Amino acid sequence: MNERIIELTEISPKDFFGAQNSTIEQLKKYFPKIKIVARGSNLKIYGEPEILDAFETRLERLMKYFNKYNTLDENSIERILTSTGNEEKSVGAKNAKDVLVHGVSGRLIKPQTDNQGKMVTLMGKNDMLFAVGPAGTGKTYTAVALAVKALKEKEVRKIILTRPAVESGENLGFLPGDLKEKLDPYMQPLYDALRDMIPHERLASHLEKGVIQIAPLAFMRGRTLDNAFVILDEAQNTTHNQMKMFLTRMGKSAKFIITGDPGQIDLPRKQVSGLKESLLALKDIQGIAQVYLDDKDVVRHKLVRKIISAYKSIETE
């Protein structure tokens, strides 16, 4: 009897094998002549070579499906195990219209509003997009989803997410920890979005290997960003020099999204926002698009929309 060891890379064994190893049990039913033993992230299989080959082919399809949809149920397993190789492409297609990413646990990540949909459309036609609007309108979340989609579809080799580390009433120097620990709170919204879209093990691997990079804007200086999907978040807090530096980092086969809220500028009073300048200076350049989100695009608690409207009314008085 032959033995083979198959390693599950960048996949959570717990999620893939299912509750009480339900996936393994289903595999055993379809391959009764193979002995299957799951140990951590490894799968040991014992049997005749030709049967082991067939098993590995089916297992590879299951892993490919799980990597795409981040979920695996009994019906999906059955379809994939009994398919000829192409049928599984239609599995999970239900409600797939407009889906950008199949997130963790099969969550469907797609535009929730017309302007978020406009972001998707414009990004398909341009290499650079400015998405401007108040908090809660989903501009950052949609941008991250577009980046994850591009990475999954191998349109880019890496994702780079950056923000200016501007202190909004708090002193960065007095925060505990090393530089990364000091800066992580500023990057938290980006981490949160990624955790919705990429399973923990795969996200940790991407971060460790540099496939996904999250860094403050100052770390972009001197780099040329090729084959990358790059998002500059909170761009309203960039200075003229910072914005110019960032925009000129764009390399070959790169996609840039710049998001910001001109109503939440934390720069010193006399400092002009680099976002406001760039929106005016670049508005007529082909290949660069702009989309403006408003309170109608708010996808947080229903009160957030009312709060934004209330502040808008007093700020225009």
- Which CATH number characterizes residue 48's domain? 3.30.1370.10
Q: Of the residues 90, 115, 144, which one is the last residue of a structural domain?
A: 90
Both 41 and 136 in one domain: the answer is no
Both 84 and 191 in one domain: the answer is no
Check residue 215 and give its pLDDT: 84
Both 156 and 222 in one domain: the answer is yes
Residue-level pLDDT, tens digit, the chain, 317 residues: 788 898 887 777 888 888 888 888 888 888 989 999 888 888 889 988 888 888 888 888 888 888 777 777 787 788 788 776 554 454 444 445 578 988 887 788 889 888 999 999 999 999 999 999 988 899 999 999 999 999 999 999 999 999 887 644 344 555 555 555 666 777 888 889 999 999 888 899 999 999 999 888 888 988 999 999 999 999 999 999 999 999 999 999 999 999 999 888 888 888 889 999 999 999 999 999 999 998 888 877 778 778 877 877 776 55
Check residue 142 and give its pLDDT: 95
pTM score, whole prediction: 0.72
Dihedral over alpha carbons 173, 241, 275, 118 (to 10 degrees):
-110
Both 115 and 207 in one domain: the answer is yes
Q: Of the residues 90, 124, 142, which one is the last residue of a structural domain?
A: 90
Check residue 62 and give its pLDDT: 87
Both 71 and 143 in one domain: the answer is no
Check residue 90 and give its pLDDT: 46
**Residue 96 maps to a domain:** no
Boundaries of domain holding 36: 2-90
**Residue 114 maps to a domain:** yes
Check residue 317 and give its pLDDT: 52
Both 135 and 255 in one domain: the answer is yes
d(CA 103, CA 120): 17
Both 86 and 109 in one domain: the answer is no
d(CA 59, CA 254): 34
Check residue 212 and give its pLDDT: 94
Both 82 and 124 in one domain: the answer is no
Both 174 and 291 in one domain: the answer is yes
Residues 6+ apart with CB under 8 A from 264: 134, 135, 236
d(CA 124, CA 117): 11
Q: Of the residues 90, 121, 153, which one is the last residue of a structural domain?
A: 90
**Residue 82 maps to a domain:** yes
Check residue 186 and give its pLDDT: 72
Both 41 and 185 in one domain: the answer is no
Domain count, the chain: 2
**Residue 95 maps to a domain:** no
Check residue 230 and give its pLDDT: 97
**Given CA atoms 172, 176, 177, 180 in this order, what sign does their dihedral have?**
negative
Query: What would the DSSP string read from start to end of the chain?
Result: -EEEEEE--SS-HHHHH-GGGHHHHHHHHH-TTSEEEEETTEEEEEE-HHHHHHHHHHHHHHHHHHHHHS---HHHHHHHHHS-SSGGGGTT-TT-TT--EE-GGG-EE---SHHHHHHHHHHHH-SEEEEE--TTSSHHHHHHHHHHHHHHTTS-SEEEEEE----SSS-GGGSSSSHHHHHHHHHHHHHHHHHHHS-HHHHHHHHHHTSEEEEEGGGGTT--B-SEEEEE-SGGG--HHHHHHHHTTB-TT-EEEEEE-TT---S-TTPPPHHHHHHHHTTT-TTEEEEE--GGG--S-HHHHHHHHHHHHHHT-
CATH number, domain containing residue 296: 3.40.50.300
**Residue 225 maps to a domain:** yes
Check residue 2 and give its pLDDT: 86
Both 21 and 155 in one domain: the answer is no
Check residue 178 and give its pLDDT: 56
Both 83 and 110 in one domain: the answer is no
**Residue 269 maps to a domain:** yes
Check residue 99 and give its pLDDT: 84
**Residue 86 maps to a domain:** yes
